[in-house]
A and B are shown apart, each in its own frame.
Chain A
């Protein structure tokens, strides 16, 4: 499947080419990028080219793809080019040809065949841990830390009191530097970006934070390339295994300590000789994370462990029932819902015009609300939907369409006027004088509105039209 999150991809693309050369020296990075960032077709190309001795002529590669899929082919090739994986050269007969660049090729080959004993994929701890850490312990730890981070942003930690997580200064500074929260008079206020952030799925959130972290690494005195490739290393580790710390560099150790605050890795104490990656780390570059992923499931409530453990039910009358006791989820839902009752394991409320508008004023979009509701929809909603959808409907919606449509309409309501900046041309004496520039404006694509009767037209950019008019005036 194609990479679901585009943000890491966008970030990587923005890096200078030299950084790629350094990154690709690590087999784990090459494999992670291959697995996560490339569309299927691009993966095919890479695999086909990886073990070729000579560059493959472009014409040869192009006939692999049917003519009607030209768009996908170009897209795949362009991504490969932007990530500096594929380069064009010339064959002996001077034909244009593709080849996989080094060190990406050699690293990926190494990752696939497992040659040499580099520490690129971490080193298992040989000695068993005295206190056994199970996968569910790790999930619990990751959930608590990550909810702590989100709770800090939304301001629930003050409300809940219980098992509030102590966030390190680094975490708080990072959130502030990333413009996700704003600190005024020692009070944390979430920003518009922050609202968008908390409603995203966990994997996107982790990537967002990680990119912020890499960006700020330099100011913490770390080499950002090393941090980035360490992230890719973490992402290829195995859940439930512990890894030796003694092979890590000082930068990597510092990164490790910081990531523990987010719940991305677990170590008993900062001085421990081993660390465990949590699910937040191991799903960074895998596909198993998109919707209804185990992490978001385990994050949605302490007792829910299933893969598709949604907990929100919405009725067609806009009433919302959420089976959760998590203060974080409750405060997220309350961002766009009028809550009415709270029971030990259930809250009920109603999505109203005011509640949605309040959310929109805070900078949350209708799409974010809908996608949040969608990804946390109760299995019962999905079942109901599956039973009612016939095969010929176009992508049936899990949520009642009346509700999703209305949420979108409420957002539209705020934009009652559509404004376009530009220039109004008027006072044309004859319709001939009016016609020509008007047609010209339409041709160059700047015409927004016109009235033949009043001999007026409105353009978004005036320079060319004005020049056109001047030229005609001179010509006369």
Chain B
């Protein structure tokens, strides 16, 4: 019997997707359905802001070094 599940379809780079998967491993509180393709998955609607903040923070830490070495 077909079912409908409410959620947010996320479209992102494979690298971002793997980060989200990693976050989810901790407490299983992000993902509704992993869609098994490179750049899509469905997450809980309430977690979007939280997820964005976490991604921004982690990515900033990773990319910042590159940015600083570039300047001046």
Contacts and interface: CB of A to CB of B under 8 A. Distances in A.
Interface in B1-37: 1-13, 16, 32-33, 35-37
Contacts, number: 87
A424 B32 contact: yes
B61 interface: no
A136 interface: no
B51 A423 contact: no
B56 A424 contact: no
Interface in A330-371: 350, 352-354
B15 to A, nearest CB: 9
A453 B71 CA distance: 47
Contact of B7 (A423, A429, A454): A423
A430 B68 CA distance: 55
Tier of interface size on chain A: 20 to 34
Contacts of B9: 419-422, 424, 448-449, 458
Nearest to B48: A419
B16 to A, nearest CB: 5
Given A417-B10, A449-B9, A433 B2 contact: yes
A429 B71 CA distance: 57
A417 B71 contact: no
A425 B6 CA distance: 9
Given A449-B9, A469-B2, A426 B71 contact: no
A388 interface: no
Contacts of B48: 419
A418 B4 contact: no
Interface residues of B, number: 34
A187 interface: no
A449 B33 CA distance: 13
Contacts of B7: 421-424
B10 A418 contact: yes
A414 interface: yes
A425 B3 contact: yes
A449 B8 contact: no
A65 interface: no
B51 A424 contact: no
Q: Select the residue from A416, A420, A434, A466 with max chain B CB neighbours within 10 A.
A: A416
B65 to A, nearest CB: 12
A423 B6 contact: yes
A386 to B, nearest CB: 31
Contacts of B2: 425-429, 433-434, 437, 469
Nearest to A466: B4
B33 A424 contact: yes
Interface string B36-54: 1100101101001001100
B36 A417 contact: no
Contacts of B40: 449
Contact of B71 (A352, A416, A458): A352
A451 interface: yes
Given A426-B3, A449-B40, A458-B9, A421 B45 contact: yes
B3 A352 contact: no
A408 interface: no
Contact of A417 (B35, B42, B52): B52
A176 B53 CA distance: 29
B55 A417 contact: yes
A35 interface: no
Given A426-B3, A433-B2, A454 B35 contact: yes
Contacts of B51: 417
Interface in A419-476: 419-429, 433-434, 437, 448-449, 451, 454, 456, 458, 462, 465-466, 469
Q: Select the residue from B12, B33, B42, B59 with max chain A CB neighbours within 10 A.
A: B42
6 contacts: A352-B71, A353-B63, A417-B10, A417-B11, A421-B7, A456-B35
Given A421-B8, A427-B3, 15 more contacts: A353-B63, A354-B64, A416-B12, A416-B13, A416-B55, A419-B8, A420-B11, A422-B7, A423-B6, A423-B7, A425-B2, A427-B1, A433-B2, A462-B4, A469-B2
